[in-house]
Amino acid sequence: MVTIKQKIVPHLWYDKEAKEAAEFYTSIFPESKITNITTLHDTPSGDCDVVDFELAGQPFMAISAGPLFKFNESISFIVYCETQDEIDNYWEKLSAVPESEQCGWLKDKYGLSWQIVPARMDEMMRSGTEDQIARLTQAFLPMKRLDIRTLEAAYKG
């Protein structure tokens, strides 16, 4: 019997690329792996791969089930980063659609949106004064890839 470790698991729908996407993502994030691949036969979309994988210990599921649905910006995954090098690393590996880059958001080669964010930014946005938050916001709005030094300088005033 399979034990469910996570009550809520993101499920991603791909045309034909579920396995390829899982391999791509698990090559980028530490503590990541593909945990299972099941092929469903004779579905309305033909054979479908269902892929279970983990990114940084978080379980995901993906399916290759045909071109019925596409990703859009209404859903994104936030990646909290401790250093600028970490931000730069994820940005270089994930960003594939330069025109979609804005305020730390990017789109990967499968059309999935990600937010690559300094971990400290969350704390600044939650605990800062109104003026600090306003300066921080004005600093990040024109950015594509977020720059920790610039954001912290704006926050400090």
Matching fold, domains 8-68 and 71-157: yes
pLDDT at 6: 83
pLDDT surpasses 90 at 108: yes
For 62-96, b/e burial (b = at least 16 CB within 10 A) is: bbbbeeeeebeeeebbebebeeeebbeebbeebbe
Judge: domain 71-157, CATH 3.40.50.2300: no
Mean pLDDT of the chain: 95
Share of the chain above pLDDT 90, in %: 92
Whether residue 102 is predicted with pLDDT greater than 80 in this model: the reply is yes
- Which sequence spans correspond to the domains of the chain? 8-68, 71-157
> Considering only the top CATH level, what class is 8-68?
alpha beta
